[in-house]
Chains A and B, each alone.
Chain A
Amino acid sequence: MTLLLAVTLVALQAPAQGVDPRLQRLDSITRPMVAALVDSARAAALPTEPLVQRALEGATKRAAGDRIVAAVRRLALDLGHARDALGITTSPPELTAAAAALRAGAPAATLTELRRIRRESLTVPLAVLTDLVSSGVPVDSAAAAVLSLAAKARDADLVEFRRAVERDVALGAPPASATAAAAAAFTTADVQVNAGARQQRPGRP
């Protein structure tokens, strides 16, 4: 039994001590700082893979070390805030999407409300919310639209909704109006209709 406890303790300690070998791509000054942030995130039971990927993105894009560290630190904070809003049972993909939504300006209350009304994964609704805001839709309009659809819409429906908004915006519609119109169309329609079929609507490229 002593052996059992010893091996378990070693296993519990090991991840905290080992540095992810992928971080060898960072320079010798940046690497320990990023590794410390990753370890802190792991100790806080936050997903570490998004942090590693953000650091690797910076390394591949030849960003300065301080920018990489700042980006990883900011993402770790966002992941923590996302978990505060969504709860401790939130999956890593959901947390990653929620962190991006918060960074885009979505209120934490919107995330909490999404969790309350939707039983399925929140990854796609949160990503759609973020993408709408990124394409110029005001946060309030985007949040209201996603909340109105999230309870019943499938992931594919939500992606198609986002595409419809982006098409209308590209055609010159004001982002807020395009979002409200698309949300109204999707709400009144049967959301179980095959999402791809909506691409065949007349008047859309």
Chain B
Amino acid sequence: MFEPDEELIGRVVRQLRRPVTVDAGLDARVMEQIARLPARRPGGPARAAWRWLTRPRTIRLSPLGALAIATVLVAIVLWRPDRRSGPASARAFGFVVVAPRAATVSLVGDFNDWDAARTPMQRTRKDESVWTAVIPLTPGRYRYAFLVNGVSWLADPAAPAARDDEFGAPSSVVTVGGS
């Protein structure tokens, strides 16, 4: 039913050894077909960049790499614009109040969480009735007041009063600009 292997191989070899004759007009016909194809539009750098950007890719990421990227994202999410406070943009601001009979005076305001223990004021050497404190403030509008002897609230007589005083004790306003 099947030819012996040697006979089959011999026939294939004879076929392959036969000279091949190519039509003399083949080249011309091939070139004519190519010329009929629609010309490709020239792609500039923008088109190449677009192709590069839109080409689907498979990204391989190690668990460690994924963790690093997640850490960066968490940092971005937790970063709050209203918590921004950089020492680079902070300016030293001096507060002065005259309180002759005070034993202690604290500067309390939006800049220290209204914590009376955070910014105790100091008596000046020249005049013991004058109390001062210097704190760094970033640009913004701050409400503040002086707390005398831990019980009496005193607005800054040298600063604008806080109009929206809702707690029955006076406050003042300081505005720090940037220009």
| Contact surface of A with B, Cβ cutoff 8 Å | 1, 3-4, 7-8, 11-12, 14-15, 22, 47-50, 53, 56-61, 63, 67-68, 70-71, 74, 91-93, 96-97, 100, 103-104, 120-121, 123-124, 126-128, 130-131, 133-135, 154-156, 158-159, 162, 166
Contact = CB atoms under 8 A, between A and B. Distances in A.
B114 A57 contact: yes
A123 B175 contact: yes
A61 B169 contact: yes
A93 B70 contact: no
A91 B168 contact: no
Kindly list the 3 A-B residue pairs having the minimum CB-CB distance in the complex, ordered from nearest.
A155-B177, A47-B82, A93-B140
A50 B142 CA distance: 9
Interface residues of B, number: 42
B61 A121 contact: no
B160 to A, nearest CB: 4
B178 to A, nearest CB: 6
A117 to B, nearest CB: 15
A15 B78 contact: yes
A101 B139 CA distance: 17
Interface in B158-179: 160-164, 166-169, 171, 173, 175, 177-179
A3 B74 contact: no
A59 B114 contact: yes
Contact of B70 (A8, A56, A61, A162): A8
Tell me the dominant secondary structure on chain A's binding face: helix
Nearest to B144: A57
A11 B116 CA distance: 33
B168 A93 contact: no
A126 to B, nearest CB: 8
Nearest to A53: B110
Contacts of A47: 81-82
Given A3-B67, A4-B66, A128 B179 contact: no
B143 interface: yes
B153 A61 contact: yes
Nearest to A127: B175
A123 B153 CA distance: 27
Given A7-B73, A57-B114, A134-B160, 5 more contacts: A4-B73, A50-B110, A61-B153, A124-B175, A134-B161
Contacts of B128: none
Contacts of B30: none
B177 A159 contact: yes
A100 B164 contact: yes
A184 B20 CA distance: 102
A158 B61 contact: no
Contacts of A123: 139-141, 175, 177-178
A155 B82 CA distance: 21
B3 interface: no
B113 interface: yes
B59 to A, nearest CB: 8
